Amino acid sequence: MVKVKNADEISRLVTKGSYEKKRIFSIVAHIDHGKTTASDYLLRRAGLMREEDAGQLQMTDSDEEEQERGITIFTSVVLLSFTDPRKPDDKEPYILQINDTPGHISFTGEVSRALRGSDGAIILVDALEGVMTQTETNIRLAVGEEYCKPVLFINKVDRLISELKLTPQKTYARIDEITKQVNDLIKKVRPKGSNWSIDFAQNSVAIGSAKHGWGFTYEILKEKGITPITVFEKYNEGDILWLRENLPLDEPILRMVVDHLPDPIKAAKYRIPKIWGGDLNSELGQALVKCDPNGPLYGMITKIFLDPKQGYRPTLIGRVFSGTLDLSEVLYLVNQRVKKRIKRLGVMEITDILDIPQIPAGNLFALYGFICPSGETFIAANAVPKDKEEASLIPSFEKIQYACEAVVSRSIKPKDPQDLAKLGEVVSKWLQADPTAEFRLNKESKEYILSGIDPLQIEILTKRINNQVPIDVGEPIIVYREKVTKKSREFYTKSSNAHNRILLYVEPLDPVAEKLIETGKITDLMNEKERAQILNKEAGWDMKEARRIVDVYKGNALVNGASGLQRFDRIKNDLVSAFRSWTEECILAREPAMGIKAVFTDLTIHEDPRHTQFAQTASMTYSALSLAMLDADPHLYEPIQIIDVKTPQGTESGVISTINKHRGQVIDVIPEGEFVRVKGELPAAELIGIADEIRGTTQGRAFFGYEFKGFEKVPANIEKDLIFEIRKRKGMKEELPNKSSWERFIYKRT
């Protein structure tokens, strides 16, 4: 347990501190670039760690799995107060609320969620490895998606001096090159109209070594009359302690935060229009833009912390954007449309909650008493309109953008078959904490299919699940997608009892609409009028058609193209359920459908409810969708990853050869000093085991990372064999589907 040493001060600053002194930020970086080691020095400054442990303990990696693997898996939240030594007469400290985030692509969802609750970001880069794939991803997520203003810390400069033995001139050139690369990335994605950039001369770049505990900005060097050459001299003398005592790392980092990152009020003016789609001129909109603690309560859950030491009891972490969250409050969850009561409220200090009865706007919070999905918006329950139509119009925050998709699956089955329901509950809890993973129940095999970003994410999740319900875990498999490439003819089908009929066709969703669904700007929970306006304005849909969307599900849409239907409301839910089941396991190989627009143009429903039960309506819906898909030139699509390898000069040919032989394509080869950067694309199925090959061909000297690009059509020469391979694995017939499976449901007009 972490003992908060200045609890009273933290509590006072959260509830009563001036907004000019508040900073909420995340530390983001590529894996192993040193975020958590750097965070140790901030914890030391907060009094949560002994001097001798800083840089060694990696205290924010509190989970046993993190300690065992030596990587950050879960975002840790820390609050500390900072008295600026440059202002000795200033009596009020700053209150800094910090997210230490993971660097591994498997856990990039944690980064996205932390950034939603932040106003700024410290971009941390390893001086030796330089800008890597995840660095670029983090800059895009932080600056481009969440409008978090950046500063830069270039870490591990000691390696340039001690390992590479670079001269001062070459070291300066290396630092300048990293600064330029980061600046170029920031300028590409920064908010329009802003002049965000980083500059050593303006003290928004710090340089140092988290391992050895020293760092500086230009301002600090000037204050102390030190030149960068002093660092080289101290390393030659072996006097690292001098550097740690005279240039303590926490000082430049904290100065950058207070000087360059915005307070919540400043940030709200430009962040709220980006992350919230409601009416900015409304009472709520104005309160959000002003970060008003006296406005209507409005906030967001950004993280679920399931503590293994507390029986995996969920602690919800989030941010109050308007109003004041009170311990006595009953909350209304906007997306789930349910009311929940708080049992405990405060702020998080790594694994502890520091109890605070009220959390005003512009602060992070922690609470427990219930669980809901990460990304949920909440308001005060007593503010919900009684009219259901009005209640459905309550706006929620924009969907958090993730840099990845679930493309790897493993089957999980309880060792005791009687634990199947319990397993479902446990998995559901973990997936509420991490929405980048997905799962579904295979009713035939009585096993869950758990899908995630990559094998490591699935491995971590299955270990957690196994601690609560003993399970058998299958081998990792790649998740493909099934898409259509043209519009089908209309197909008329009947239910099993021949009393109900549906006429429909399918076609590819237009790319803009597909992107709107993928990014969460169009959802099934939206008010139909609002959804139609977005589709009309951004995708060019006809307003009438856009208002008649029946369902939006995992990149697919079901549209009512009929008129004058009778009894439709009676079977609407069953129709939606059948559509979703069909898209979950489509016809080529029972892989999920993507980018499909299904439009029914006629629907006949029997007047007797006994003849319109789900089994009847599902059979005609399944068959119509399947026949239409067969007619729409369906194909299998595979997930593609961008791979980014930084390797010493002279070893790049082996990297290029490795990418090429795995059905990959080299996109760019960029010389970077002693290194060469090789960028390429290759199918996710080919990534398994490629790390060992790259290490082998470069004698273990290459650094690499990868990022999800999207889905692309499987090459024609392997598509049929791949479909057969997947069907065989799933116990299906090794043949391509044909209309004979559904033609008995075809309705023939007389």
Residues 254 and 299 in one domain: no
Decide which of 452, 479, 506 is a domain's last residue.
479
Residue 80, pLDDT score: 83
Residue 436, pLDDT score: 80
> Of 592, 630, 619, which is closest to residue 506 (Cα–Cα)?
630
Separation CA 356–CA 352 (nearest Å)? 12
Over range 562-585, report the average pLDDT.
90
Residue 5, pLDDT score: 59
Contacts of 376 (CB under 8 A, 6+ apart): 300, 301, 333, 334, 335, 336
User: Does 723 reside within a domain?
Assistant: no
> What is the β-pairing status of strands 120-126 and 22-29?
parallel
Decide which of 439, 460, 479 is a domain's last residue.
479
Over range 736-750, report the average pLDDT.
88
> What is the β-pairing status of strands 94-100 and 76-82?
antiparallel
pLDDT tens string 476-510: 888 899 999 999 999 999 998 999 999 999 999 99
User: Does 187 reside within a domain?
Assistant: yes
User: Does 1 reside within a domain?
Assistant: no
User: Does 297 reside within a domain?
Assistant: yes
- State CA 673 to chain mean position distance: 33
Tokens representing residue 79 in the block: 């609050």
Residues of the chain above pLDDT 90, percent: 57
Residues 452 and 565 in one domain: no
Give the residue with greater pLDDT, 549 vs 4.
549
Residue 106, pLDDT score: 59
Separation CA 275–CA 299 (nearest Å)? 12
Q: How far is CA 573 from CA 276, 495, 549, 597, 613, in A?
A: 29, 16, 13, 18, 11
Per the rule left: phi > 0, alpha: psi between -120 and 50, beta: everything else, 29 is beta
* pLDDT over 90 (residue 623): yes
User: Does 738 reside within a domain?
Assistant: yes
Residue 74, pLDDT score: 46
pLDDT tens string 712-728: 999 999 999 999 999 99
Residue 654, pLDDT score: 93
User: Does 420 reside within a domain?
Assistant: yes
Residues 107 and 65 in one domain: yes
Residue 277, pLDDT score: 85
Tokens representing residue 578 in the block: 């059948």
The range of the structural domain enclosing residue 445 comes to 408-479
* pLDDT over 50 (residue 58): no
* pLDDT over 60 (residue 1): no
Residues 234 and 316 in one domain: no
Over range 154-171, report the average pLDDT.
92
Residues of the chain above pLDDT 70, percent: 93
Residue 448, pLDDT score: 83
SS3 482: strand
Separation CA 506–CA 18 (nearest Å)? 57
Per the rule left: phi > 0, alpha: psi between -120 and 50, beta: everything else, 555 is left
Residue 445, pLDDT score: 66
Give 587's DSSP letter.
T
Residue 46, pLDDT score: 54
Which CATH number does the domain housing residue 299 bear?
2.40.30.10
Residue 3: band (very low, low, confident or very high) from pLDDT cuts 50, 70, 90? very low
Over range 358-363, report the average pLDDT.
97
SS3 749: coil
The β-bridge partners of 428 are none
Residue 402, pLDDT score: 75
Which CATH number does the domain housing residue 510 bear?
3.30.230.10
Residues 435 and 560 in one domain: no
Which CATH number does the domain housing residue 435 bear?
3.30.70.870
Residues 495 and 569 in one domain: yes
Contacts of 157 (CB under 8 A, 6+ apart): 127, 171, 175, 207, 208, 209, 231
Number of residues written out for the chain: 750
| Alpha helices by DSSP H, 22-100 | 35-45, 64-69
Domain count, the chain: 5
Residue 81, pLDDT score: 84
User: Does 416 reside within a domain?
Assistant: yes
Residue 234, pLDDT score: 94
Residue 750, pLDDT score: 64
Decide which of 206, 237, 262 is a domain's last residue.
262
Residues 180 and 297 in one domain: no
Q: How far is CA 523 from CA 168, 387, 455, 528, in A?
A: 55, 22, 29, 10
Which CATH number does the domain housing residue 677 bear?
3.30.70.240
Residues 152 and 175 in one domain: yes
Which CATH number does the domain housing residue 22 bear?
3.40.50.300
Residues 122 and 255 in one domain: yes
Over range 541-565, report the average pLDDT.
92
Residue 69: band (very low, low, confident or very high) from pLDDT cuts 50, 70, 90? very low
* pLDDT over 90 (residue 364): yes
Q: What is the pTM of this model?
A: 0.81
Over range 455-467, report the average pLDDT.
84
User: Does 401 reside within a domain?
Assistant: no
* pLDDT over 70 (residue 443): no
* pLDDT over 70 (residue 105): no
Residue 444, pLDDT score: 64
Residue 350, pLDDT score: 72
Separation CA 300–CA 302 (nearest Å)? 6
Question: Mean pLDDT over all residues of the chain?
Answer: 88
Contacts of 625 (CB under 8 A, 6+ apart): 504, 506, 579, 582, 598
Residues 105 and 214 in one domain: yes
Residues 429 and 367 in one domain: no
Residues 445 and 378 in one domain: no
Give the residue with greater pLDDT, 4 vs 568.
568
